[in-house]
Amino acid sequence: MGAYLTQELGFTNVSRLAGGIIAYDRSLKTAKEENADIGEPLFKGTNYVFDGRVGRQITNDALGTCITCGSETNLLSNCRNSSCHKRMVQCAECSTNLLGTCSEACRQRVLNGGMIQRKSVSLTTEITGTEDQFEEEKKEEVERVCHTLDQYSSLHSSGVPPFYGAIEHNTKRYLPTGSHMVSGVTQGRLLCSLASMTREGRVLEIGTFTGYAAASFLKGCSNAGEAMGYSGRGGRAGGPYVLSLERDQRAYDVAVAHMRVMSESGVGQEAASKALSLSDERKFLESN
């Protein structure tokens, strides 16, 4: 960037931050924790990075424009449709509605598990009397091909309630550097199934992070409790129960907020809307 500014744009007084933007971000967080006055930040918005995080949020300034609705946002992502994988700026609400994709077409592709559809046409020949009549009978035969285990699992798994998508988006916004650790749809459905098959619906989880897996375990343990005919609320003494441990205070705060929303509103659209409204560090802390 420095070379571009000097060689292409003609600037002569170009300075660089010591250690780069990431080091500056660390110094901002340290100053914030120590309640030090840092004045006006020298860098605003989200810093683009060349790894799975895509963007590392430095400040809460929304300097980008959502490609879907045009609202201001600071979220960077890649389209979840592996055949597209478009790099884009998209707000949390549109990303939730489109399942992390850039368009309705890509959303449908993801819903169908990334399948490739091939149409084959079969020709039948019918001879009647003295005239040859060739009738082309078009039969659309859809051949579903799954190229990865994840695609196959997505195709044969039940749908995911909106609340889980809200957890993913809150994690990307509040803890972007660790957002790749979220369990996700396929793993979450598996964890729910495993918890459903437990004898008493009791699970110990090491590492809560932001609560995606914990929410999946809770749903599975609830299923196990219903199968056992257990009535009432489980606890340490007995019944369906999930004990989850987390050492990172920031992740813990986000997870607790998510669990509180889930306990009050379930996992439907109302819960998702409440969870998305917490996409702010201050609100997460206030909710706890």
What are the distances in angstroms from CA 153 to CA 111, 143, 162? 12, 17, 19
Model pLDDT, residue 52: 64
Name the most confidently modeled range: 52-66, 80-94, 249-263, 267-281.
Answer: 249-263
Instruction: State whether 120 and 243 are in the same domain.
Output: no
Instruction: State whether 31 and 134 are in the same domain.
Output: no
Model pLDDT, residue 84: 84
What whole-number distance in Å separates Cα of residue 274 and Cα of residue 272? 5
- Cα dihedral across residues 175, 177, 181, 185: positive or negative: positive
Q: Domain range for residue 217?
A: 158-288
- Cα dihedral across residues 189, 190, 192, 197: positive or negative: positive
State the total domains in the chain.
Answer: 3
The pTM score is: 0.51
- Going by pLDDT thresholds of 50, 70 and 90, the confidence category of residue 138 is very low
Instruction: State whether 287 and 169 are in the same domain.
Output: yes
For the stretch 7-57, pLDDT in tens is 888 888 887 767 777 777 778 778 877 787 777 777 788 877 766 667 777
Q: Is the pLDDT of residue 142 over 60?
A: no
φ/ψ of residue 92, rounded to 5: -65, -40
- Going by pLDDT thresholds of 50, 70 and 90, the confidence category of residue 279 is low
Instruction: State whether 164 and 270 are in the same domain.
Output: yes
Q: Name 78's bridge partners.
A: 87
Instruction: State whether 237 and 164 are in the same domain.
Output: yes
Q: Is the pLDDT of residue 72 over 80?
A: yes
Given 28, 43, 58, the domain boundary residue is 43
Of 109 and 64, the structure prediction assigns the larger pLDDT to 64
Residue 207 sits in a domain of what CATH number?
3.40.50.150
Whether 261 maps to a domain, the answer reads: yes
Instruction: State whether 205 and 259 are in the same domain.
Output: yes
Instruction: State whether 174 and 152 are in the same domain.
Output: no
Work out the mean pLDDT of the chain and round it to a whole number: 79
Whether 254 maps to a domain, the answer reads: yes
Question: Cβ(85)–Cβ(78) under 8 Å?
Answer: yes
Instruction: State whether 170 and 285 are in the same domain.
Output: yes
What whole-number distance in Å separates Cα of residue 86 and Cα of residue 80? 8
Instruction: State whether 230 and 287 are in the same domain.
Output: yes
Of 136 and 253, the structure prediction assigns the larger pLDDT to 253
Model pLDDT, residue 280: 59
Whether 179 maps to a domain, the answer reads: yes
- Going by pLDDT thresholds of 50, 70 and 90, the confidence category of residue 114 is very low
Instruction: State whether 168 and 147 are in the same domain.
Output: no
What is the DSSP code string of 52-68? Answer: TT-EEE-SS---EE-TT
